[in-house]
Every structure is written in C-alpha cells, then in structure tokens.
A and B are shown apart, each in its own frame.
Chain A
Amino acid sequence: MAEKNNLLVKLDNGGVYKSSKWLVRGVSLELYKGQIVTLIGPNGSGKTTTAKMILNILKSDEGKMESYTSKMAYVPQKISIDWTMPLRVIDFMKLTNHINNADITEALKLTGVEDLLYNQINNLSGGEFQRVLIARAIAKKPELLVLDEPVQGVDFNGEIALYNLIKKIASTLNCGILLISHDMHFVMSATDHVICLNGHICCSGSPSAVIKDSAYIELFGEHTAATLSLYKHHHDHSHETDGSVAK
C-alpha cells in the first residue's frame, strides 16, 4: 500500500453544517498518489460536499483537514459558462495556469476534442464541454484530481474511453484521483477504495469488500447494475427524508 510520504490529503472526521443541518458528517478519508478513491451514494448524500471539503472550497465545520499538495485540478459537476463572456476553448484551458499550446493540444487529443480548440465554449454540446473540462484538468498535470461525475452527457462509447483514460492518468501522472461516479462497473473494476456515503460513511473499503458489505447491499441492492435506481436504506440505522439519521 502507499507510503506515508505519498499522502496527498487526509480528512479526519470532516463535516459541513449549513442552514441548521449537517450536509455530511463524520467523513474520514485519505488519498495517496496513484490511488483512485470513489465516492458513491444517492442524490443529496454529500458526495459533492465531501469533494469540496477535500478541495478547500468548503471548510470542514468539525474534524480536521490536512492537505499536502497545492497542485489540484477540479472537474465540477455542473458548470455553465455565462454567455455574456466570449470564451474559447483555448482561453478556458489556460484559466488557472499558463499551459503551453502543445500540452493543451495533447490533452484535448486524449479526450477526443482537439478540433474544438478555437470554438466558443457556449457553442459546445454538454458532452463536448465535459471532455474539455477533463482535458483542462489533465493538462494542468495535477497531483490531486477531483472528478465530480465527469462523464455526464458523454455518449456511451466515449464514457468507456474516458474512464479508461482516467484510470491511465492515475498511473502516468502518478496523481491521486477522487472520483464521484454512478458507474458501478467502473467503480468496482478500476478503483482502489470505495466510500459509500449517505450523509455519513455507510461503508468503505476495497470494491470487493464493499460489494459484500450489508450496508452497500441495502443501499444499492444485490443486483447492483439492475437496481441502481432503488435507494433503500434499512440496516443498523435509517434515514429521514432529508437524509439525516433517524433517532
């Protein structure tokens, strides 16, 4: 397993409290170089909130967050670029870093959108924009890459290719990846550590361990792929409609 000096971030018992309720609480996770950690869980379970704690966008209201890298790249879940701004793909690629044109073209080639370099961001389709977002994050050559449902809106073949790319990046760039994904096949086959969230950590471990965990089975059903939409939750505790743990 990864050594101590490969540690990128360590969140210890983190939680975010907003509008008099805990969005997510008691989350502990460590991320090492070259490792892929996946967050899974139903809508509103605190996946994005957890990712934002890791990225220091949101401050954890309790517990401790330690960060050992400043080279972070982020692929947010939903972003829309205001049409009031004329922004080309090439301008967007250089948003937070100066990146030379060769690296930009290479990254865009990896995600299959090298032809769009001079297109206006506003004219891209959802899937194309998603590919540009991923390319931008790769081109930064980060140590820590956070991907929040990165393949949404991407066509089926592209989805597989992009997931393979993400897997490859973890080893070629030796960067740690925190991934939020609904694709159970990828999560189970390619990630090192799975964290199952529902307002708190329901279960976590290697994919093969998690898949046998009763909490996971309750959350996602035994036939994972077929019953993904059924988010039932009855084990050692139950949840209110707002996601908080019932007393």
Chain B
Amino acid sequence: MFDDFFTRALIAGVGIAIIAGPLGCLVIWRRLSYFGDTLSHSALLGVTLAYAFSMNITLSVFIISSVVAILLINLQKRTKLAGDSLLGLLAHSTLAIGLVLIGFLSSIRFDLMGLLFGDILAVTTDDIAMVWIGGIIILGILYFIWKSLFSATVNYDLAAAEGMRPEISNLIFTLLLAGVIALSIKMIGALLITGLLLIPAAIARNLSNSPKQMIIIAILAGIASVVLGLFTSLELNTSSGPSIVVVSLALFILSLIPLEIRGQLQK
C-alpha cells in the first residue's frame, strides 16, 4: 500500500500543513483570503515561466508571487481602486497570461490538470527537501517577526506607536505567503492552495480560545487533512489537491458541532 511516491507525498504534505497552519491563521485574522487567491493564480504564470526557461518551479513561482504582491502594494498606493478590485485585476490577468503562454509552449508536454489541482505522483525527493528546508526558513522568519506582525494584526497604529515597525513585518509576511504557495503548488495545485491555508485555520477558529491555541489546532487540522486527503486520493484515484480540500471541508463541518453544543448549553 505504501508505494514510494505515496510516502514522499505524505512527508511533503505534512511539511506543508505545518507551514500553512500559522500563515493560514494570519490570513484569516487579516482577512486576506482573496489575497492568497491572487498569489496562487499568479503562481500558474510562475510555473509556465519555469518550463519556458527550464528553471526550478518552486523558485520561479516564489519570484512571480513576490512580484505580484509588491505590485499590489504599490498599486494600492497609486490608484483609487479598492483592494479587492486590484486583487481581481492581478489574479485574473496573471492567470490569463500564464494560460496564454502555455499555448506557446506546445512543444513541451504539459500536465495542466496537475498544475491546477495538484499531483502527488509529481513529488520528488528534491521537493521534500525543498518543503522542509523552505518550511524551516519560513517558520524561522515568522517566529522572528511574530511580535511585530501579530501586534500589527491586532491594531496597526498601536504597533506603530510602540516601536514594532509593522510596515517591515507586513512586507516580509507577504513574501512568506508567496513562499508557502511556491512550496505547495505541486501537491495542491494553483487553484486550491488558498483552501489549505484557509480551511484548517477556519476549523481552528471554531475550537480555540487564544491565538496560540488556534495556530496549534490549525497545524493539526492541516496535517489531518493532508494525510486523510492523500489516502482518499490514492484509493479513489482522484487529484490530490481537491481530495485534501474536501477532507478539510469535512473536518470543518465536524468542528461546527462543538460550537452548536456550546450554543445549546448557553441557552
């Protein structure tokens, strides 16, 4: 049952879930879910460019996502459009450019479904190293800027007034988000990465009373989603990304039960 590729996918997937936990919580707290979507749509362009110039996919996706994130921050300062309009503009134009470019690369055999929805067969030993080393770096940086980032999430002015330098940590956070998307694109696929960021954190929100608790539960829920999702993917021969996200959704529905019970008790 434990085929080699499957073990590889499990190890990489668990790594991604651990990184996605704290970042997902921040995405929920900062109401950035659509921002995550934009970055992951632009990731497709990154993949296409990686094939075109035979670059490392993770690196190329990270660069493109970072560029889009910085572009967004600059556009927000210069235009009179609201954040969500700019996000939509960037998400769909980068996705479209990516898809147009794929058309030009007809000489290369291209697994579009795999790119959009993830493919566990594609996970190599190098990918595992990338996920775990990249993950340790991301979590290390996150730990280092945590106080600043977290206080700015609660209240930007308060953080700025009390010397937390929130503008710097905000920028770094954006790059970390680009990083986790780059690391998880192979397994989850460009269209569903935000699901893995968001749903475990949403599950955790239902079950937690403090920020720390929410992060730990988000990590555990993410691991459970990945492991159960990959088994489902193997058994039913479905794409890995959707399987993981569907399992995550099922866990989310289960997490509503304690809320209901608590609500009933309080009545």
By a CB distance below 8 angstroms, the chain B residues around A174 are: none
Is the C-beta of B164 less than 8 angstroms from some C-beta in chain A?
Answer: yes
Question: Which of B172-180, B207-215, B252-260 is found at the contact surface with chain A?
Answer: B207-215
A201 beta carbon closer than 8 Å to chain B = no
Cβ contacts A to B, 6 pairs, < 8 Å: A72-B161, A74-B161, A86-B208, A87-B210, A88-B209, A96-B158
**Assuming A55-B160, A56-B161, A146-B161, is B214 touching A96 (CB within 8 A)?**
no
Q: Is the CB of A52 within 8 A of B158?
A: no
Q: Is B249 an interface residue (CB 8 A)?
A: no
Contact partner of B158 (CB less than 8 A), chosen from A79, A82, A88, A91, is A79
Tell me the nearest residue of chain A to B155, going by C-beta: A79
Q: Which of A74, A79, A84, A92 contacts B162 (CB 8 A)?
A: A74
Q: Does B157 contact A (CB under 8 A)?
A: yes
- Which one of B89-97, B145-153, B186-194, B222-230 is at the A interface? B145-153
When the two chains form their complex, are residues B214 and A86 in contact, meaning their CB atoms are under 8 A apart? yes
B29 at the interface (CB under 8 A from A): yes
Instruction: Please tell me which one of the listed residues A86, A87, A96, A140 contacts residue B164 in the complex, with CB atoms under 8 A apart.
Output: A96
Interface check B163, CB cutoff 8 A: yes
A140 to chain B, nearest CB (A): 8
Using Cβ atoms and an 8 Å threshold, which residues of chain A touch B105?
A: none
Cα separation A81 to B29 with both chains bound (whole Å): 10
Contact mask for chain A residues 86-129; partner B; CB cutoff 8 A; 1 contact, 0 none: 11100110011100000000000000000000001000000000
Q: Any chain A CB within 8 A of the CB of B205?
A: yes
Residue of B nearest to A48 (CB): B157
Known: A74-B162, A85-B211, A91-B212. 11 other contacts (CB 8 A): A52-B157, A56-B160, A70-B163, A76-B155, A85-B154, A85-B214, A86-B208, A86-B214, A87-B211, A92-B154, A95-B150
Q: Is A246 an interface residue (CB 8 A)?
A: no
Beta-carbon contact of B162 and A73 below 8 Å: yes
Interface residues on A, range: 20 to 34
A interface, over-half SS: loop
The interface of chain B, by Cβ under 8 A from chain A, is: 28-29, 31, 147, 150-151, 153-155, 157-164, 205, 208-214
Residues of A contacting B154 in the complex (Cβ-Cβ under 8 angstroms)? 81, 85, 87, 92, 95
- Expressed in whole angstroms, the minimum distance between the Cβ of B266 and any Cβ of chain A is 12
Q: Does the CB pair B160–A82 fall under 8 Å?
A: no
A residues apposed to B, CB below 8 Å: 52, 55-57, 70, 72-74, 76, 79, 81-82, 84-88, 91-92, 95-97, 120, 140, 146
Report the minimum CB–CB distance from B231 to chain A (whole Å).
Answer: 31
Chain B min CB distance to A85 (Å): 5
- Chain B binding surface SS class: helix
Known: A81-B154, A84-B31, A85-B29. A57 touches B161 (CB 8 A): yes
- Separation of A84 and B31 alpha carbons in the complex (Å): 8
Shortest distance between the CB of A113 and any CB in chain B (Å): 18
Known: A85-B153, A86-B208, A86-B213. A95 touches B29 (CB 8 A): no
A72, B157: Cβ atoms closer than 8 Å? no
Q: Is the CB of A57 within 8 A of B157?
A: yes
Across the interface, which residues of A come within 8 angstroms of B155, CB to CB? Answer: 76, 79, 81
Tell which of A55, A72, A74, A82 touches B31, judged by Cβ atoms closer than 8 Å.
A82
Taking the nearest CB of chain B, how far is it from the CB of A241, in angstroms? 24
- Judging by beta carbons under 8 Å apart, are B147 and A120 in contact? no
| Inter-chain contacts of B151 with A (CB < 8 A) | 95-96
Name the residue of chain A whose CB is nearest to the CB of B209: A86
Which chain A residue shows the least CB distance to B213? A86
Contacts of A52 in B (CB 8 A): 157, 161
Query: Beyond A86-B205, A86-B209, A95-B150, is A76–B31 a contact (Cβ under 8 Å)?
Result: no
Give the CA-CA distance A97 to B151 in the complex, in Å. 10
Q: Are B150 and A86 in contact (CB under 8 A)?
A: no
**Which B residue's beta carbon lies closest to that of A98?**
B147
A82 to B153 Cα, complex, angstroms: 9
> Which B residues are CB-close (under 8 A) to A82?
29, 31
